[in-house]
Amino acid sequence: MIAFMPNDRQFTLRQIDQARGDLYGIADDLELLKVQLAQLPTRAYISRLAIMATGTVWALIGSVALMASR
């Protein structure tokens, strides 16, 4: 004769529904994070800004030097 032992891993419908809601909440948070990451500036954009800033500083220094030499 085989004895029936209750399975401790069986879930109620309420537990399954709550877990499903939690899973959807996590998925929504993950989607929000993906959108925010997509809006971060890229490495190329930041390096381009650094080069433009350096060029601007050199242009200002050059213009001050030309005005001072007159």
The series of mean pLDDT values per 10 residues for the chain, 70 residues long, is 65 90 95 94 95 97 93
* pTM greater than 0.75 (yes/no): no
- How far, in Å, are 12, 13, 50, 53, 68 from residue 60 at the CA level? 72, 70, 15, 11, 12
Please give the Cα distance from 9 to 15 (Å, whole number): 11
- Closest C-alpha among 44, 41, 40, 64 to residue 52: 44
Res 5: pLDDT: 58
